[in-house]
């Protein structure tokens, strides 16, 4: 059975100029796999991730035939039940760890709080769990990091702490929204490798939202390519470079390459028919 099934998802924002559709009828399923969603800014990829967790703020509207988490429709849950789902069943890692961690509480306390929220156990055990989690995300001296405040750790470390925190309740699905865009290239792969290892080990489903086609093709099994709120193409991640849709090809070609010299990069010419074509099921 699939972990997540989404049918005909729409995200709408009313504006003065009329209703703006950020996501337009997207359908896909997620098994115990790593699913990548790529697209440019404004393609609706982040909105899709947020809509699953019902994190779209008013006046935004989320509509779908269903968003089924193991057969349970998330759209029918009350806000109270939804809070259980967030964190317990589906966790989310955001782009910048600086804004996701509370700046006035130590890392250790935040990790322990995350653990105690979902388990009733003595504090000593929470402490042990938190230390263990930090070790899991390859932090060398967890004791020191536990006592540190968020501003005292580097960006890569902060993101690893976030991943540790999100994995504490053992969720079924992890949604990672551009988890490494704020990090340096050398740290990026390190963080992704850690996340990848943990997800595989626990048999979780991963939704990896990114603008970086190369990263996605490296760290996912399957990729959805979004354009103007719709899925234009679905393909196997390792076959991404043989993608057929002109948009995907255009994106790949517009990247500067180190192995060949050219004076001008190829530029994507957008065809209006791309946004009119019906969304592909993923």
Partner 1 sequence: MSDMTLRQWLLTDEPTSRRHARLASFYKGWLTLRSNSMAMVGLAILVALILTAIFAPIIAPHDPFVQDLSSRLLPIGAEEHLLGTDSLGRDILSRLIYGARITLYIVALVALIAPVAGLLVGTVAGYAGGWVDVILMRITDIFLAFPRLVLALAFVAALGAGIENAVLAISLTAWPPYARMARAETLTIRSTDYINAIRLQGAGPLRIITRHIWPLCISSLIVRVTLDMAGIILAAAGLGFLGLGAQPPSPEWGAMISEGRRFILDHWWVATVPGLAIFTVSLAFNLLGDGLRDALDPKDGGQ
Partner 2 sequence: MTALVINDLNVWFGLVHDRVAAVKGACFSVEQGESFGLVGESGSGKSTILRALTGLVPQWSGTIEVEGEALSGAKRDRRFFRTVQMVFQDPYASLHPRHTVDQVLSETLHLHGLNNIDKRVTELLNDVGLGQRFRFRYPHQLSGGQRQRVAIARALAGEPDILLLDEPTSALDVSVQAEVLNLLTDLRTLRRLTFLMVSHDLPVIGHMCERLAVMRNGEIVEVMSSETLRLGNPSHEYSKQLLSASVAPNQ
Q: How far is the CB of 20 from partner 1 (least distance, A)?
A: 8
- Residue 10, CB half-sphere, CA atoms under 13 Å: how many? 12
Q: How far is the CB of 13 from partner 1 (least distance, A)?
A: 8
41 binds partner 1 (CB under 8 A): no
The alpha carbon of residue 150 and the mean position of all alpha carbons in its chain are separated, in whole angstroms, by: 21
Q: How far is the CB of 49 from partner 2 (least distance, A)?
A: 18
256 binds, options partner 2, partner 1, none, Cβ within 5 to 8 A by partner type: partner 2
Select from 45-53, 71-79, 92-100, 254-262 the region that touches partner 2 (CB under 8 A).
254-262
266 binds partner 2 (CB under 8 A): yes
Is the distance from CB of 33 to CB of 205 less than 8 angstroms?
Answer: yes
DSSP string, 22-55: EEEEEEEEE-SSEEEEE--TTSSHHHHHHHHTT-
Select from 15-23, 125-133, 262-270, 273-281 the region that touches partner 2 (CB under 8 A).
262-270
Nearest CB to partner 1, comparing residues 59 and 71: 59
x/- map, 11-30, partner 1, by CB under 8 A: ----xxx-------------
217 binds partner 2 (CB under 8 A): yes
Q: CA-to-CA distance for 234 and 228, rounded, in angstroms? A: 15
Nearest CB to partner 1, comparing residues 18 and 256: 18
């Amino acid at each position: 059975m699939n972990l997540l099934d989404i049918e005909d998802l729409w995200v709408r924002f009313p504006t003065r100029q009329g209703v703006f559709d950020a996501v337009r009828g997207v359908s896909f399923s997620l098994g115990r796999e790593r699913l990548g969603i790529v697209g440019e800014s404004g393609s609706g990829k982040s909105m899709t991730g947020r809509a699953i967790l019902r994190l779209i703020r008013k006046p935004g509207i989320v509509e779908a035939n269903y968003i089924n988490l193991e057969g349970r429709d998330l759209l029918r849950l009350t806000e109270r039940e939804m809070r259980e789902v967030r964190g317990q069943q589906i966790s989310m890692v955001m782009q910048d760890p600086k804004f996701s961690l509370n700046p006035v509480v130590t890392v250790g306390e935040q990790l322990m709080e995350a653990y105690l929220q979902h388990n009733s156990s003595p504090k000593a055990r929470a402490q042990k769990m938190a230390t263990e989690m930090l070790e899991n995300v390859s932090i060398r001296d967890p004791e020191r990091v536990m006592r540190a405040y968020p501003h005292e750790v580097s960006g890569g470390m902060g993101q690893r702490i976030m991943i540790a925190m999100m994995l504490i309740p053992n969720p079924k699905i992890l949604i990672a929204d551009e988890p490494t865009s704020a990090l340096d290239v050398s740290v990026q792969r390190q963080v992704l490798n850690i996340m990848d290892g943990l997800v595989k080990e626990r048999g979780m489903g991963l939704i990896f939202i990114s603008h970086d086609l190369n990263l996605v093709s490296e760290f996912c099994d399957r990729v959805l390519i979004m354009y103007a709120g719709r899925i234009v193409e679905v393909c196997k991640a390792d076959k991404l470079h043989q993608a057929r849709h002109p948009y995907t090809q255009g994106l790949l070609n517009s990247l500067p390459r180190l192995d060949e010299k050219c004076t001008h990069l190829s530029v994507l010419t957008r065809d209006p028919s791309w946004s009119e074509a019906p969304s592909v099921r993923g």
